[in-house]
């Protein structure tokens, strides 16, 4: 903070400046640069309540997330109640809730279901800002459950109006949101109203998803390179270039020559970006971390939060997560089928190669980084290998180490106390 900005007054004093020389009378009537920045720049306080002033667009944009996060739930409840009141809605709800164990034999279903929990890693970045991360996980699952009722009740109405089984109108993927559901809305009274509400909800859900994804990447990069990105303005610059790069990369998904080609690229990314390769990486990573670092992770969490997690998490890290990931990966490999679009278009070989390159790009960075650290280290190859395989000395202490330090400190304090008493007696 400085006093050279347009919002500063003559009474501004930069208390953090070096060689500060000021009289006592001036200090009494002065305000700090941080105070003036908060009151005059951020809040833009007026002279009183009678002065209305103009809207502070910067603060308004900061609270836009309150609208984007709550409005989709309002619209979801509206669409849910509307869908449940339609004729044939019960047929769709029964189809939605009826268990079908044979679907677990489909490797694609198990692979997609297993890859969905990988997105939970981004919640750690949110946890650094709020303590409601656990409730967000429950809210995510609850939202998916409620959304199923809203969607399948409308699909049941659509099947009832057309006189066909619901299996013939239920679709998966983008076709559900952009084909089946709009067709069902067209059969309702006031179809334009329901279509506008539905697509506004879809847009806002996409924005909220991007908020979390971008924040996870930015927070991770700031933790990885704090000396570079934690300076003034660096985070905003990195955020600008990252969003610009994502925008430029997604231009391939909206390309058009004579007909739309971008949907093929979108499906290629959607199928390979989070595929079975991520499950393989997750199983190997979870097994290695669980076997060698589960206790260390517990110590780190206890060192930060002063509370030790439940041992159920350790069982998941060591055994359950690697086992489920490996089984899902094996099933996806055994029953692998080449990607097709609408069951008739077969991608060329170079497109499959591009897809597998995309799938491997997320996991090859880890051994690549390890190889780079191994080559850039000092000492012999064996010394560098042992150095990278051993935990950092700055990691939190384990329970045994902490107990040993307490015992050592207690013994030392007793010896010092006895020595002081002996000296006083003499």
Q: How do the domains of the chain map onto residue ranges?
A: 12-61, 67-254, 272-389
Task: Count other Cβ atoms within 10 Å, centred on residue 184.
Answer: 26
Q: Does residue 64 contact residue 208 with C-beta atoms inside 8 Å?
A: no
Beta pairing, strands 340-341 & 12-13: unpaired
Burial class of 31 by CB neighbour count within 10 A (0 to 12, 13 to 18, 19+):
middle
Q: How many residues does the chain have?
A: 426
User: What is the separation of C-alpha 340 from the centre of its chain, rounded to a whole number of angstroms?
Assistant: 29
Classify the phi-psi angles of 231: left when phi > 0, otherwise alpha if psi is within -120 to 50, otherwise beta.
beta
Alpha carbon separation from 416 to 233, 409, 412, 421 (Å, rounded): 52, 10, 6, 9
Q: Which residue do the tokens 């539905």 mark?
A: 198
User: What is the separation of C-alpha 224 from the centre of its chain, rounded to a whole number of angstroms?
Assistant: 17
Distant-in-sequence, close-in-space partners of 264: CB < 8 Å, separation ≥ 6: 341, 345, 347, 351
Find the radius of gyration of the CA atoms of the chain.
29
Question: Residue 119: its pLDDT value, please?
Answer: 62
Q: Helix-strand-coil percent breakdown of the chain, rounded to 5?
A: 75, 0, 25
Alpha helix ranges (H) inside 257-398: 262-272, 276-305, 311-315, 321-334, 349-376, 381-389
| SS3 state of residue 346 | strand
Question: Residue 137: its pLDDT value, please?
Answer: 74
Question: Residue 408: its pLDDT value, please?
Answer: 47
In degrees and rounded to multiples of 5, residue 340 shows phi and psi of: -130, 160
DSSP structural state of residue 19: S
How far is it, in rounded angstroms, from Cα 107 to Cα 124? 29
Q: Does residue 280 contact residue 329 with C-beta atoms inside 8 Å?
A: yes
Beta pairing, strands 31-32 & 340-341: unpaired
Distant-in-sequence, close-in-space partners of 374: CB < 8 Å, separation ≥ 6: 381, 384, 385, 388
DSSP structural state of residue 374: H
Question: Residue 6: its pLDDT value, please?
Answer: 77
How far is it, in rounded angstroms, from Cα 213 to Cα 120? 11
Feature table: binding site for Na(+) = 140, 205, 208
Q: Which residue do the tokens 């506008």 mark?
A: 196
Question: Residue 1: its pLDDT value, please?
Answer: 56
Distant-in-sequence, close-in-space partners of 246: CB < 8 Å, separation ≥ 6: 214
Question: Residue 175: its pLDDT value, please?
Answer: 64
Beta pairing, strands 345-346 & 12-13: unpaired
User: What is the separation of C-alpha 30 from the centre of its chain, rounded to a whole number of angstroms?
Assistant: 44
Q: Does residue 237 contact residue 246 with C-beta atoms inside 8 Å?
A: no
Task: Count other Cβ atoms within 10 Å, centred on residue 41.
Answer: 14
Task: Count other Cβ atoms within 10 Å, centred on residue 283.
Answer: 21
pLDDT average per 10 residues of sequence, the chain (426 residues): 75 63 54 76 70 70 75 84 87 85 68 64 63 73 85 85 79 67 76 84 80 80 81 83 87 66 78 71 63 68 74 78 77 76 80 84 79 83 79 55 49 52 53
How far is it, in rounded angstroms, from Cα 396 to Cα 382? 26
User: How much is the pTM?
Assistant: 0.61
Feature table: binding site = 140, 205, 208
CA angle 142, 112, 355 (to 5 degrees): 135
| SS3 state of residue 256 | strand
Question: Residue 125: its pLDDT value, please?
Answer: 63
């Amino acid at each position: 903070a400085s006093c050279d900005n347009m919002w500063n007054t003559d009474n501004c004093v930069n208390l953090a400046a070096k060689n500060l020389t000021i009289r006592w009378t001036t200090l009494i009537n002065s305000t700090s640069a941080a105070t003036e920045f908060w009151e005059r720049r951020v809040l833009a306080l007026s002279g009183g309540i009678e002065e209305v002033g103009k809207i502070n667009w910067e603060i308004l944009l900061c609270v836009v997330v309150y609208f984007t996060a709550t409005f989709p739930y309002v619209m979801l409840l509206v669409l849910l109640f509307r869908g449940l009141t339609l004729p044939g809605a019960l047929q769709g709800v029964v189809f939605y809730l009826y268990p079908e164990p044979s679907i677990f034999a489909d490797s694609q279903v198990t692979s997609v279901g297993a890859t969905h929990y990988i997105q939970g890693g981004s919640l750690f970045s949110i946890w650094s800002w709020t303590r409601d991360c656990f409730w967000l996980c429950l809210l995510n699952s609850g939202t998916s459950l409620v959304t199923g009722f809203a969607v399948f009740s409308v699909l049941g109405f659509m099947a009832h109006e057309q006189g066909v089984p619901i299996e013939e109108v239920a679709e998966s993927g983008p076709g559900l949101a952009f084909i089946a559901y709009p067709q069902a809305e067209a059969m309702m009274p006031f179809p334009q109203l329901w279509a506008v509400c539905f697509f506004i909800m879809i847009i806002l859900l996409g924005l909220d998803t991007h908020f979390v994804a971008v924040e996870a990447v930015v927070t991770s990069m700031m933790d990885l390179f704090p000396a570079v990105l934690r300076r003034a303005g660096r985070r905003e610059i990195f955020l600008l270039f990252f969003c610009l790069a994502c925008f430029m990369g997604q231009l391939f998904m909206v390309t058009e020559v004579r007909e739309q080609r971008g949907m093929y690229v979108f499906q290629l990314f959607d199928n390979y970006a989070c595929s079975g390769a991520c499950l393989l990486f997750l199983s190997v990573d979870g097994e290695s971390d669980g076997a060698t670092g589960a206790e260390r992770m517990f110590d780190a969490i206890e060192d930060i939060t002063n509370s030790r997690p439940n041992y159920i998490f350790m069982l998941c890290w060591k055994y359950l997560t690697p086992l489920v990931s490996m089984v899902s990966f094996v099933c996806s490999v055994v029953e692998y089928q080449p990607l097709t679009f609408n069951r008739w278009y077969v991608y060329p070989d170079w497109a499959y190669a591009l897809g597998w390159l995309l799938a491997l790009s997320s996991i090859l960075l880890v051994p690549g980084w390890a190889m780079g650290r191994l080559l850039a280290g000092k000492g012999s190859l064996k010394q560098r290998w042992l150095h990278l395989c051993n935990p950092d000395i700055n990691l939190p202490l384990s329970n045994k180490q902490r107990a040993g330090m307490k015992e050592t400190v207690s013994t030392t304090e007793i010896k010092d106390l006895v020595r002081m008493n002996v000296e006083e007696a003499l």
